[in-house]
A and B are shown apart, each in its own frame.
Chain A
């Protein structure tokens, strides 16, 4: 980055506050999540179309068990709540509480991923067995990638809210808010995925 640009940007940022622009970073993130959601929408549409027009060939195996994904759904829903707790705590300047809630959320994310892997290893079909098997792995895998990324980000911000010298505080909430929004989004997608893949 060149210096002229730095000074210009700072200048602009100052101007931005002067001219009374609100913080539009969250707006940008929401736009991004809409885009991300459209990727999932495309996958869901493909899956539903396959279901409607491509019958499973004779002898092909595509069976799903409910217990693990149900547990996973509950885990993610709880994790959304605990994340919310974390941001409430930070807002009330309780950085230590916030950090604890964040770590708990990350733990739930990790358990989710472990359960997901456990499910993968115990399924009676593999990636290339048939159309539904492929779509199942693609969809849950793509979602799992989102959970992995989210968990990593939660671990990073949980380090940053530490009370002695962390970057985040009730005055600088944005990174936490951003990850929280992302996490709720990933949970929401899971609920839709759960309904479409497992219940329909």
Chain B
């Protein structure tokens, strides 16, 4: 079969772009697609970050003087949607998943390479469409949650384009999820058992199960919402006898799992990074696996903790409070496992481990405020205030984004064969960590004192604290500079990294850097103990 195609291949080989250009052309190579996800996600991160800066500039003063209020709403909506659907979800799943999972299971590519490429190429057009909706009739204004009736009554074109774009991104995410499940379960190298897989595989398996089970529900809901907007049906429109709470249930049935879709892969990545830089095995492998699966199951039945103020009946409040409290257990187990992994290890202080530690610290904080929010009496007080904003930014930024940076520092030598500059990396970490905490810690206070979220104007008594927060945001914006400088300088003239600069044991390091198209010359290595570090310390 191969033989007949060979001559044609030779002829076409000249068309294949060389070097960096291959990241901008259609490719089926999982490594190229992974990097495409990362670059695309990062570009959208810069857009979303610019929008965030605009929000913080507006909020530096109590009146809406920087932009009109409806523009503020659009900026807020675009910021949230871009950060979630175009940056964190595609990067923690698509980018690192595509790059690493085939290595980890000992395969040469994903199970369905074509589907994989399609999933990626859905993203740039949907993202651009979303952004350009701003120039038509204004972008959507109803926030990333698109709650009706607001989403029905605000200008139509923006909201419809928003829905279309989120549907496409959801489709991309589902295709990706199917591919990951098939790759992890079906494409494993013979002889490799499930319980020998690196932890990121388990995280991606759990995440993909959530993607496959919950994203379609969001898609269906958004289709109904679009009918409400364009066809005058009344599914969610109370004026026409519809029920807004049904929208909330369906939306959160996706969007609570979605927060785990953003953070479970990050858990997995940290579990890869910590053992290597602490020279110790990952602590409690099987408890890690069970807590991931526990989070998957519980994550599907806690959604109504977002709806305690939506007329939720008492039994529902009780059930969802208890279920949410339970989810803190597996999450806590993972936290203790990471700390125990580091405990007594030979920790090398570098940018990767600093960002991972930053993640652990921030995530604990966000987890604690999360458990607090799950308590009905408390939540009724702070729901829809800045306390919630602070909570989830501690998770999605302090958690997922910190891990993305940690992973970039960790895997950059693999992808490029060059080392990143550690001084710039540490500078990046310090500015990010300080800026992040300065920006979001004060928001807890703002929320507790009653500043509502999602509004352009606020009571003047909150001005000073808001300005502190804005200074933090400024630092976060600045922190991108040393990062980008570092990336470009290192690609151009970074130190040669060698194949395995961290002396790691996981399979992606047991090949050249950058890896060949086939991932390995010859047969894939069989790694039964991906975390077999540290004999020299204990013995």
Q: Is the CB of A24 within 8 A of B178?
A: no
Chain A residues with Cβ below 8 Å from B112 are: 25, 28
Q: How far is the CA of A110 from the CA of B417 in the complex (A)?
A: 58
Q: Is there a chain B Cβ closer than 8 Å to A128's Cβ?
A: yes
Chain A residues with Cβ below 8 Å from B293 are: none
Q: Which of B6, B111, B241 has the most CB of A within 10 A?
A: B241
List A22-73 residues whose CB lies under 8 Å from chain B.
22, 24-25, 27-28, 31-32, 34-43, 45-46, 49-50, 53-54, 57
Picked from B1, B15, B233, the residue with its CB within 8 Å of the CB of A134 is B233
Picked from A8, A45, A130, A138, the residue with its CB within 8 Å of the CB of B227 is A138
Q: Is the CB of B243 within 8 A of A54?
A: yes
Q: How far is the CA of A113 from the CA of B16 in the complex (A)?
A: 47
Chain A residues with Cβ below 8 Å from B515 are: none
Residue of A nearest to B253 (CB): A42
Q: Is there a chain A Cβ closer than 8 Å to B26's Cβ?
A: yes
Binds B, one of A9-17, A74-82, A187-195: A9-17
Chain B residues with Cβ below 8 Å from A28 are: 111-112, 115, 178-179, 182
Distance to closest chain A CB from B112 (angstroms): 6
Q: Is the CB of B26 within 8 A of A38?
A: no
Q: Is the CB of A10 within 8 A of B5?
A: yes
Q: How far is the CA of A7 from the CA of B216 in the complex (A)?
A: 35
Residue of A nearest to B183 (CB): A24
Q: Is the CB of A46 within 8 A of B250?
A: yes
Chain B residues with Cβ below 8 Å from A9 are: 28, 109, 113
Q: Is the CB of A131 within 8 A of B29?
A: no
Chain B residues with Cβ below 8 Å from A199 are: none
Q: Is the CB of B29 within 8 A of A35?
A: no
Q: Is there a chain B Cβ closer than 8 Å to A122's Cβ?
A: no
Distance to closest chain A CB from B251 (angstroms): 10
Distance to closest chain A CB from B9 (angstroms): 5
Distance to closest chain A CB from B182 (angstroms): 5
Q: What is the number of residues of chain A that contact chain B, defined by CB distance less than 8 Å? A: 50
Picked from A38, A41, A57, the residue with its CB within 8 Å of the CB of B241 is A57
Q: How far is the CA of A53 from the CA of B115 in the complex (A)?
A: 41
Distance to closest chain B CB from A79 (angstroms): 25
Picked from A3, A12, A19, the residue with its CB within 8 Å of the CB of B15 is A3
Q: How far is the CA of A22 from the CA of B213 in the complex (A)?
A: 25
Chain B residues with Cβ below 8 Å from A19 are: 189-190
Q: How far is the CA of A14 from the CA of B16 in the complex (A)?
A: 22
Q: Is the CB of A54 within 8 A of B517?
A: no
Q: Is there a chain A Cβ closer than 8 Å to B186's Cβ?
A: yes
Residue of A nearest to B188 (CB): A21
Beta-carbon contacts of B11-48 to A below 8 Å, as 1s and 0s? 11101110000100111110000000000000000000
Residue of A nearest to B217 (CB): A42
Q: Is the CB of B233 within 8 A of A128?
A: yes
Q: Is the CB of A35 within 8 A of B109?
A: no
With A5-B27, A134-B227 known as contacts, the answer to whether A12 contacts B108 (CB < 8 A) is yes
List B482-522 residues whose CB lies under 8 Å from chain A.
517-518
Distance to closest chain B CB from A145 (angstroms): 11
Q: Which of B5, B189, B217, B517 has the most CB of A within 10 A?
A: B217
With A3-B9, A4-B13, A134-B227 known as contacts, the answer to whether A24 contacts B111 (CB < 8 A) is yes
Distance to closest chain B CB from A142 (angstroms): 8
Q: Is there a chain B Cβ closer than 8 Å to A152's Cβ?
A: no
Picked from B5, B113, B231, the residue with its CB within 8 Å of the CB of A5 is B113
With A31-B178, A41-B217, A131-B242 known as contacts, the answer to whether A2 contacts B108 (CB < 8 A) is no
Residue of A nearest to B247 (CB): A46
Q: Is the CB of B5 within 8 A of A134?
A: no
Picked from A35, A46, A53, the residue with its CB within 8 Å of the CB of B224 is A46
Chain A residues with Cβ below 8 Å from B215 are: 35
Q: Is there a chain A Cβ closer than 8 Å to B128's Cβ?
A: no
Residue of B nearest to A38 (CB): B216
List A130-145 residues whose CB lies under 8 Å from chain B.
130-131, 134-135, 138, 142
List B224-243 residues whose CB lies under 8 Å from chain A.
224, 227, 231-235, 240-243
List A112-152 residues whose CB lies under 8 Å from chain B.
127-128, 130-131, 134-135, 138, 142
Q: Is the CB of B12 within 8 A of A45?
A: no
Chain B residues with Cβ below 8 Å from A12 are: 107-109, 518
Q: Is the CB of B235 within 8 A of A135?
A: yes
With A5-B27, A42-B221 known as contacts, the answer to whether A10 contacts B186 (CB < 8 A) is no
Q: Is the CB of B108 within 8 A of A6?
A: no
Q: How far is the CA of A3 from the CA of B11 in the complex (A)?
A: 8
Distance to closest chain A CB from B286 (angstroms): 25
Q: Is the CB of A35 within 8 A of B212?
A: yes
Q: Is the CB of B214 within 8 A of A38?
A: yes
Q: How far is the CA of A32 from the CA of B215 in the complex (A)?
A: 12
Q: Is there a chain A Cβ closer than 8 Å to B539's Cβ?
A: no
Q: How far is the CA of A57 from the CA of B250 in the complex (A)?
A: 24
Q: Is there a chain B Cβ closer than 8 Å to A200's Cβ?
A: no
Q: How far is the CA of A21 from the CA of B235 in the complex (A)?
A: 47
Residue of B nearest to A134 (CB): B233
Q: How far is the CA of A135 from the CA of B228 in the complex (A)?
A: 11
Distance to closest chain A CB from B248 (angstroms): 11
Chain A residues with Cβ below 8 Å from B190 are: 19-20
Q: How far is the CA of A16 from the CA of B253 in the complex (A)?
A: 37
Q: Is there a chain B Cβ closer than 8 Å to A1's Cβ?
A: yes
Chain A residues with Cβ below 8 Å from B11 are: 3
Q: Is the CB of A45 within 8 A of B212?
A: no
Q: Is the CB of A24 within 8 A of B186?
A: yes
Q: Which of A1, A3, A22, A57 has the most CB of B within 10 A?
A: A3
Given A9-B109, A12-B109; 4 other pairs, CB 8 A cutoff: A2-B22, A3-B8, A31-B177, A127-B231
Task: List 15 A-B residue pairs with CB atoms under 8 Å apart, sorted by A's residue number.
Answer: A2-B27, A3-B10, A3-B16, A8-B517, A14-B2, A19-B189, A25-B112, A27-B182, A28-B112, A31-B182, A35-B174, A35-B216, A37-B216, A128-B233, A131-B242
* The 5 residue pairs across chains A and B that have the minimum distance between CB atoms: A3-B12, A24-B186, A42-B217, A39-B216, A5-B28
